[in-house]
Amino acid sequence: GKRRIVIPCLGHFKEEYEKVSKLYMNNKIRTTRYTLLNFLPRNLFEQFHRIANLYFLFLVVLNWVPLVEAFQKEITMLPLVGVLTIIAVKDGLEDYSRYKMDKQINNLITKVYSR
């Protein structure tokens, strides 16, 4: 289909339009949770709200204490790092699919009612 771009002829009302239009949000849909800059910290923050991840973190920290050390330090970190990595990849892929869907919806051709 054909697309049409409508540019209003504001004339001397242009300054007033720009002032008023800054007060309102645009109508783009955004359902993603993350951006490229906040993905890692926000994802880790969300993952450490789970009790199981906090438990494994506690075991890792406890194993760094020389008196309590039961295993090698790196071995106790493997389950935690593995789970955090798998969940981060899953969350990243889900968020990317949400981004693609948002982009598709925001670029749909719409009908505008005009008297």
pLDDT in tens, the chain (115 residues): 566 655 566 677 777 777 777 777 777 889 999 999 999 999 999 999 999 999 999 988 988 888 877 778 788 899 899 999 999 999 999 999 999 999 998 888 777 666 6
Please report, for residues 15, 16, 18, 38, 84, the alpha-carbon distance to residue 32 in angstroms, rounded to integers and kept in the order given. 34, 33, 28, 12, 20
Determine, yes or no, domain membership for 8. no
Determine, yes or no, domain membership for 7. no
Q: What is the pLDDT of residue 98?
A: 96
Determine, yes or no, domain membership for 51. yes
Distance CA 77, CA 3 (A): 55
Determine, yes or no, domain membership for 5. no
Structural tokens at position 13: 């009302």
Determine, yes or no, domain membership for 24. no
Determine, yes or no, domain membership for 54. yes
CB within 8 A of 92, min separation 6: which ones? 34, 39, 43
Determine, yes or no, domain membership for 80. yes
Number of domains in the chain: 1
Determine, yes or no, domain membership for 18. no
Name the 3-class secondary structure at 67.
coil
Range of the domain at 47: 29-107
Q: Enter the pTM of the model.
A: 0.69
